[in-house]
Amino acid sequence: MDDVRGTPVSAAKPSSLEDYETALNAFNCYRGHPVEIIDKALNDDPGFVMGRIFRAHIHVSLWERSVLPGLNAILATLYGLSGAANERERAHVVALKRWAAYGKAINLLIPVRYRANLFRGSHAQRDIIHRMLIEGALRAPDKALAIALTNERASLKLHYSFSFGLSKRAAAIQ
């Protein structure tokens, strides 16, 4: 089955594909309730891979780490549906998985960042935790966290142009 753009999708029912298009339009126009609409389509057609991908992208569009549990639940379902997915849908799943990985790295590193001075090694080796956190926030993208971390780094390392470059990247996140 093809969507209105002529792109193949894995919907089994024409009604679920119609609901998907309605949800996509509601999302893009900021009108209606795209989550309710796509959830209806997924209840009617649980194997609708692109519908689940769209639902995951809604989570990602919120740009908050708090969406990771919901995103990971959708990804787990998508892994089970991988045999029904076409090449385009599999590429979407890879992109979603990569986005979720940045969030996981951030969640693991935040609690230990202030204890890095207890680790043995050079300042540069200990600094890698802060740099990984900043890079993860930039790539997630989590603008608020990226700005907070880069401002903290700039205040601690006043004479490092690298820190100011990171601050510019954080401010440029859309």
- The per-residue pLDDT for range 12-35, each reduced to its tens digit, is 899 999 999 999 888 888 888 999
Distance CA(77)–CA(67), nearest Å, equals 16
Write down the pLDDT at residue 15: 94
User: Are the C-beta atoms of residues 103 and 89 closer than 8 Å to each other?
Assistant: no
User: Are the C-beta atoms of residues 20 and 38 closer than 8 Å to each other?
Assistant: yes
pTM beyond 0.75: the answer is no
Write down the pLDDT at residue 136: 82
Q: Which residues are 2's β-sheet partners?
A: 8
Q: Which two tokens stand for residue 127?
A: 């600094």
Which has the closest alpha carbon to 50: 72, 17, 14?
A: 17
Write down the pLDDT at residue 124: 64
Which has the closest alpha carbon to 14: 59, 55, 51?
A: 51
Residue ranges per structural domain of the chain: 14-100, 119-171
Q: Which amino acid does the sequence have at 134? A: I
User: Packing angle between helix 14-29 and helix 34-44, nearest 10 degrees?
Assistant: 170
Phi-psi region of 6 (alpha: psi -120 to 50; beta: other; left: phi over 0): left
Q: Does domain 14-100 have CATH number 1.25.40?
A: yes
User: Are the C-beta atoms of residues 92 and 53 closer than 8 Å to each other?
Assistant: yes
Per DSSP, the three-state class of 30 is coil
Q: Which residues does 58 contact at the CB level (< 8 Å), separation at least 6? A: 27, 34, 35, 38
What stretches in the chain show pLDDT beneath 70? 63-65, 116-126
Write down the pLDDT at residue 88: 83
Write down the pLDDT at residue 169: 86
Distance CA(75)–CA(52), nearest Å, equals 9
